[in-house]
Structure 1
């Protein structure tokens, strides 16, 4: 869409402001030092190492003080209290989080993933801790039923482009690629696309943040994205550790029954 100069200047100013407000993200490449809680040095509990990219809000990421936080961190810490271990969190690139688990002494993998994402030759999967299909975000002035007609922003790691082309006739040349949920939503504000498709929980988390809630995004579930293999999020436990996996599943069941799991998830909703 062509814009007059005044609109262009205003949009450029907005883009700069949004970029300045973007939350700090950790470097997803492997790091030599582990990201752990301050309590590690004084804890007498057995240490269990968790591999993650630590860069997926609100599931698992680094806060401003360089501490791991998020839904998965809180759930694993709650599980740790029940089974008598302390989880520590170690950052690797997404493409590397399932690799060299024995060599790195990694027992658990956590990064907001489903069965479809996991490398099943390397990990066994826990019971699901959260259900989250994919969603379509648009601005209020975009007719929801027309979202697939124009530019559509995606995160390549979500592996949605083929499905969106086959099932919703999104043209390959109409995809706009961004590296995060935040940038996906700001692409709508900057009028780089008219729809953004990604994980529902992550979209709602950012859409209701102080930075973006003023835009009142319309969010609808992507049809046919509710398949358990892609919508049920899980933890991975290194192959050959069925007893430990059983302990995690038993603790998860207790968290569900007591309502603590729902309380943790509610804490991170922002809406």
Structure 2
């Protein structure tokens, strides 16, 4: 899965997420001098900036989000700088071959991701969730039409893990558009990452609707866990990330970041 409850504005975010990809602000630790700061290593980070609240564009065209804040904190602790750029989820791991040093894009710990990259220790759990307008629909949701996003691995998982018939799946480009399919009655259910869906269903765009939800934990608990990814064999960078994650967690900064995103529902400087 390109996979608690962190909503903001939803309609404008979709438009902002379509902005042209561009590198954005670097995260750098404090340095005693400009010379020492310039000497810090800089790592390039690929992220799918259409996936709030993990990563998305703000109104100024900067990539922001939970993953961004967390990786920035790791970089500050470990003494390196970061440069972000957008890449669609499809083909994301190929970026590690020649362009990206790190992937920060709600990477789930699956067999596929293990084979494609070196994965950090997990930092967050985010299972799938089913959303419907009728509570009874969730009792046998697999028998209904289900909308799911192409910028997750949900469509494949619906068939392989949950046994949903291909004819019952209504694809959409993003989770936001999947939810739009639901309210426009083009589908009976939406299934997607729980954190992303919660973000949207509490936003002003969908405030007129009363949604019912059902968490869908994976049969394999590890696949609900999220990690950062690096190229296989880049053990030095992976160790830096893992050490930084441990420091951020032990200091309580991880909890602060998660709490901040839970509380940031309708910030004016962020787009839905």
Q: TM-score range by the shorter chain?
A: 0.7 to 0.9
Given that residues 120 and 242 in structure 2 are in contact (C-alpha distance below 8 angstroms), is that contact kept between their aligned partners in structure 1? Answer: yes
Equivalence map 1:112-191=2 (5 Å)? 112-116=106-110, 119-140=113-134, 142-161=136-155, 163-165=157-159, 170-191=164-185
**1:66 is the counterpart of 2:55:** no
Displacement after TM superposition at 1:110 (Å): 1.3
- TM-score, scaled relative to structure 1: 0.79
Provide the residue aligned with 2:247 in structure 1: 254
- TM-score, scaled relative to structure 2: 0.79
Q: What is the RMSD of the two structures over their aligned residues, measured on CA atoms?
A: 3.0
Mapped to 2, the partners of 1:100 and 1:160 lie a distance apart of 21
**1:50 is the counterpart of 2:53:** no
Given that residues 146 and 188 in structure 2 are in contact (C-alpha distance below 8 angstroms), is that contact kept between their aligned partners in structure 1? Answer: yes
Given that residues 36 and 90 in structure 1 are in contact (C-alpha distance below 8 angstroms), is that contact kept between their aligned partners in structure 2? Answer: no
Show structure 1 runs of 5+ residues with no match: 1-17
**1:80 is the counterpart of 2:75:** yes
**1:35 is the counterpart of 2:30:** no
Mapped to 2, the partners of 1:26 and 1:162 lie a distance apart of 24
Q: Specify whether residues 226 and 262 from structure 1 end up closer, same or farther in structure 2 by C-alpha distance, changes over 3 A only.
A: farther
Q: After superposition, what is the alpha-carbon deviation per residue over 1:102-139, rounded to whole angstroms, capped at 9, x for unaligned? A: 532x2211111112275445521100011011010111
Of 194-203 and 251-260, the range deviating more from structure 2: 251-260
The structure with higher relative contact order (CA 8 Å, sep 6+) is 2
Provide the residue aligned with 1:24 in structure 2: 15
Mapped to 2, the partners of 1:239 and 1:38 lie a distance apart of 24
Mapped to 2, the partners of 1:167 and 1:49 lie a distance apart of 34
Mapped to 2, the partners of 1:235 and 1:100 lie a distance apart of 14
The higher radius of gyration belongs to 1
Given that residues 152 and 195 in structure 1 are in contact (C-alpha distance below 8 angstroms), is that contact kept between their aligned partners in structure 2? Answer: yes
SS at structure 1 position matched to 2:14: coil
